[in-house]
Structures are given as C-alpha cells and as structure tokens.
Chain A
Amino acid sequence: MPHVTWILPDGKKIGADVSAGTSLMTAAVANNVAGVVGECGGCLSCATCHVYVDDAWLDKVGPPDSIEDAMLEVTDTQRTSSSRLSCQIEASQELDGLILHVPQ
C-alpha cells in the first residue's frame, strides 16, 4: 500500500499506509490529521481539506483542475503554488512516499 506522510505546522509527522484509490482527504480524517476537515465529504464544495504538496512531489501529483482551482480561492489558510485540495488526490503506487504539509 502506498505510504503517505502528513507534516503538521508544528513539525509533527503522521504517516499511514493508504489503499490505492482512497482520497487523501478521507485518509487524513481517518488518521486524525488535525487541520484536514473534509466537511463536504469530498464533493469540491468546502475547501476544508487544503494541503501543500511537498516540493519534491509537485510534478507527480500535478496541478488542480479548474473547479478545484476555483475552490482553492476560499481556503481558510494561505494559498500557495503547491496548494491542493486533498479530496482530489487519490493514493496510488506512483505516489508511494508522498509528503503533504498541513497549512497553519
């Protein structure tokens, strides 16, 4: 199973094996990653699962589509060029080792 690590604003790390196909918002909620809420359940309506993709992984994860890009305008936390909504990223073998940073 692909391994994903979330790094919290205080530097604490939470790692988990996530079955391929599971959204990384769902995985974050399941693993108590504080700061990833997923209020709308992953239907791109709330922007409460905002994460920063680690620089080393940006190319592999890729950019947001146009709807996600729009929703990134209403995140409570600062948007950057590495911002994604984690409900739109699925775990996969290609992303084994992925590192996500949780916004302050």
Chain B
Amino acid sequence: MTGARVVIIGASHAAIAAATKLRSLSGDANITIVSAEKDFPYQRPPLSKAYLAGKSTFENILLRPENWYEENRIALRRAVTATGIDRPEKVVRLSDGSRLSYDRLILATGAIARRLPAEVGGYLPNVYVMRDLADANALKSEMRAGQRLVVIGGGYIGLEAASEASKKGVRVTVLEAADRILKRVAARETADDIRALHLSHGVDIREGVQLRRIVEVNGMAAGVELDGKTILPADFVLTGIGVSPNTALAEQAGLEIDNGIATDAYLRTCDPAIFAAGDCASFPWKGQRVRLESVQNATDQGITIAANIAGDERAYDAVPWFWSDQFDLKLQIAGLNIGYDNVVTRKGANPACRAHFYFKGDEFLSVDCLNDPLTFALSRKILETSRPLSREQAQDPQFSLKSAGSLPL
C-alpha cells in the first residue's frame, strides 16, 4: 500500500519491531507510534533483571537511540494515550484532543499487571508490581541490604525479582498460593530445580499458602498476613500474580475479544484494517487460541504485521521461545508446553546443566533448558523444522540432537 498511513498504539517490543520492518519494506509509509509513556521506548525484560540489578543504565536498555525515530521518519507521540477508535472514519482520538487518521492500525497495547484488591492492601504505596520503568525504578530504590521483601506469586517475574533482591542482600520470602511455584507455566521438574536454586541462595519459598491481607501500618505495608494468622514482616511487597491483556480500547471499538484482542492467523482483528500484536493479542495456534507474554512473540508478530501491511502476506507461525535469568541460572525455553502429559529429563555436562522435555503422548512440544544453551539451540531447530524427536532420544545424553529426524525412528 503506497504511502499508507499506519498508526501504532503502544511503543514496546511489538510496536518498534513493526515500525522498523515497515520502514524497511516501505520507504513512503506514514508511520506514527502513540506511546502512553514519557520516556523513549525501552526493552522490558531487563527491568526485572540487569536494570534492576543496576548493571544496565536506561540508555543501555533503549529499544532504539533517541535520534532513530526522526532519522527513520517515524513520528513518536509520547505521554499521550489513545482514547477511542472511530472505525467507520478510520480515526484514532488521542488524550491531547488530536485525531490521527489511519489506513492501517496496529494495537500493541500490552498488558496490565494485576494487583490485589485495595481492601487487602493491594494498592498501598510500598506494594509494587513489575511491568514498566517506573515500577523498576521504585523497586530498585527499595532494594537495600537488610530490607525485607515479600513477593506474592511464584511465577517468573516474581522469582526474577526475588533473585535480584536477594543478590543485593535483601531478605526475600516468596509466597505461592498453588501447591508449587511456576504451576501455570512449567512442569514440576523445572519448578523443583528453580526452588532448589532459590533455597540455596537463602530465599524463603512458601507454597500452598493463602494470603489473608497485606498488613497496613501508617498507610504503608508492614507485612503480609497468611491464613492461620502468621504474619510475615515486610519493608516492601511485590505483587507478581500475572497480567491482564490491555483490551479496553479494542473493546470500546467493538472488536472481538477472546482472552485478548482476537486475531486471525494473519494477526488481523475482525476489522481488516486493524491488527493486534504482542501481550494484548490472542491468535490461533495448533487448533486453539493462545495469548503469549514474551518478547519473541511481540517482536515476531510486529514483523509479521508489517509484512502483511506491505502486501507480503504471511501467517504467523513462529516457534515461541522465552528466557529467564535467576541467580547464576540461565533458563531458556523453546516451544509451548500447552497440553503436555509427560516430561523427560536430559542430563547435561554438569549437575547444574539439564533440560526437561515436554511431550503430549509421543509428540515433542517444548523444552526448558537450564544452563544448557546447546540443547536449547538445537531443540529450537528441531521444533522449527518439525522434525520428530522421541522421548528416548530426548533423554539420552549420548543421542546427538543435531541428528534428530535425520535417522529413521
């Protein structure tokens, strides 16, 4: 589409990937990014890792240098939100009263960190979530040796923050309501390894505990009360209980919502002029609808949409991958484990190095690699090329994953 007016709502990984790809495919597209934040767009994963640790500065984590936008003729509107979409007129209304006409609109509105209800103290000033730069800065300023942190929720975000805090000498307790950490996202085998890692660094992990309320003293959180009246004192609290897709704008515009803004395989919403990408979007995948919260998904979806807008039609079919850094563990995940019913473990070169392979029956779905980048790299290749891998091969350290699929099973 020559000279197309493309408006992107949101300014994180999906948005910047889409703008970059679109500019490379179309020199004359008229690209505008609408960002609710006042800062230039930045990478999110380091917020709970290197940035929180103080190892990366804000300049280090910028997605693009500040002059990139002008040099690439991409209009970046900062500190302004989209308040409505007029679909028949193809116009986006902004909070500063201005209006943007579009030929194609990309919704990359991300997700919103869930909080506990205000009645139980979820909104007290020293109860944090971990989603954006302001959250990371606030949390970072609290992380001093000897302080006590209670993390509510044993998912990846909470465990990463627990690791960074613990490394700074903060005394950390992680609370998980389910019977084990990482219940929603990983197998028991992976959870067991990660629990052991945290325990070895002195993090207190309590699973299967029900929270009653955050204890308030003088308007601040002073501890967390569990069922049974146990009180865990805290100087600050982090809530890591998941996110909700930011669908308000899409809902208001009458777009179809199904655990996120629903798209087809081309990442188009029910309005063919509007696409959705990243944490806010749900898309068809192996006969079901999924919504993923990851940089890879956001980036690759942004690129796919740019190609579709530029006329190079393609369905989104990337193999998902994820990573997490905790203490000295490098966890890398390839594939999606949805629907797994059995797991086998492949031992690596040393005890800290291993990989847990997820299967549904005989079908290889995904793998969690702990300090084992080679297995991660080769498994990704296997999934990308849809080569078969059997349970026996996966768990046999003598079997070369390089040869998977090249020999008869």
Give chain A's interface residues, CB within 8 Å of chain B: 26, 29-30, 32, 34, 37, 39-41, 43-47, 67, 70-71, 73-74
Interface residues as binary, B315-344 with A (CB distance below 8 Å gives 1, 0 otherwise)? 000000101010000101000000000000
Supposing A43-B323, A45-B321 touch, asked if A26 and B380 sit within 8 A by C-beta, the answer is no
* Minimum Cβ distance to chain B for residue A63 (Å): 16
Supposing A30-B64, A45-B332 touch, asked if A40 and B377 sit within 8 A by C-beta, the answer is no
- CA distance in complex: A26, B381 (Å): 26
Residue B374 at the A interface, CB < 8 A?
yes
Contact of A74 with B24 in the complex, beta carbons under 8 Å:
no
Contact of A45 with B323 in the complex, beta carbons under 8 Å:
yes
Interface residues as binary, B370-388 with A (CB distance below 8 Å gives 1, 0 otherwise)? 0001101110110000000
Contact of A29 with B64 in the complex, beta carbons under 8 Å:
yes
Residue B296 at the A interface, CB < 8 A?
yes
Instruction: Specify the chain A residue showing the minimal Cβ separation from B46.
Output: A41
11 contacts between A and B (CB under 8 A): A37-B299, A39-B295, A39-B299, A41-B46, A45-B332, A67-B330, A70-B374, A70-B377, A73-B374, A73-B381, A74-B381
- CA distance in complex: A74, B61 (Å): 24
* Minimum Cβ distance to chain A for residue B107 (Å): 21
* Minimum Cβ distance to chain A for residue B74 (Å): 11
Contacts of A46 in B (CB 8 A): 296, 321
Supposing A29-B64, A30-B68 touch, asked if A41 and B45 sit within 8 A by C-beta, the answer is yes
- CA distance in complex: A80, B68 (Å): 31
Most chain B Cβ neighbours within 10 Å, of A41, A44, A67, A74: A41
Residue B137 at the A interface, CB < 8 A?
no
- CA distance in complex: A91, B32 (Å): 33
Q: What class of interface size applies to chain B in its complex with A?
A: 20 to 34
Determine chain A's interface SS by DSSP, over half rule: loop
Residue B83 at the A interface, CB < 8 A?
no
Contact of B377 with A47 in the complex, beta carbons under 8 Å:
yes
Interface residues as binary, B30-70 with A (CB distance below 8 Å gives 1, 0 otherwise)? 00000000000001011001100000000011001100100
Instruction: Specify the chain B residue showing the minimal Cβ separation from A70.
Output: B374
Contacts of A40 in B (CB 8 A): 45, 295, 323
Cross-chain contact of A41 among B43, B378, B380 (Cβ < 8 A) = B43
Contacts of B377 in A (CB 8 A): 47, 70-71, 73-74
* Minimum Cβ distance to chain A for residue B365 (Å): 18
Contacts of B374 in A (CB 8 A): 70, 73
- CA distance in complex: A26, B358 (Å): 34
Interface residues as binary, B341-383 with A (CB distance below 8 Å gives 1, 0 otherwise)? 0000000000000000000000000000000011011101100
* Residues from 55 to 94 in B contacting A, C-beta threshold 8 Å: 60-61, 64-65, 68, 71-72
- CA distance in complex: A29, B332 (Å): 23
Contact of A71 with B72 in the complex, beta carbons under 8 Å:
no
Cross-chain contact of B296 among A39, A43, A44 (Cβ < 8 A) = A39
* Minimum Cβ distance to chain B for residue A59 (Å): 25
Contacts of A26 in B (CB 8 A): 60
Contacts of A47 in B (CB 8 A): 377
Cross-chain contact of B373 among A37, A41, A67 (Cβ < 8 A) = A67
Contact of B65 with A30 in the complex, beta carbons under 8 Å:
yes
Instruction: Specify the chain A residue showing the minimal Cβ separation from B401.
Output: A73
* Minimum Cβ distance to chain A for residue B331 (Å): 10
* Minimum Cβ distance to chain B for residue A62 (Å): 19
Instruction: Specify the chain B residue showing the minimal Cβ separation from A35.
Output: B24
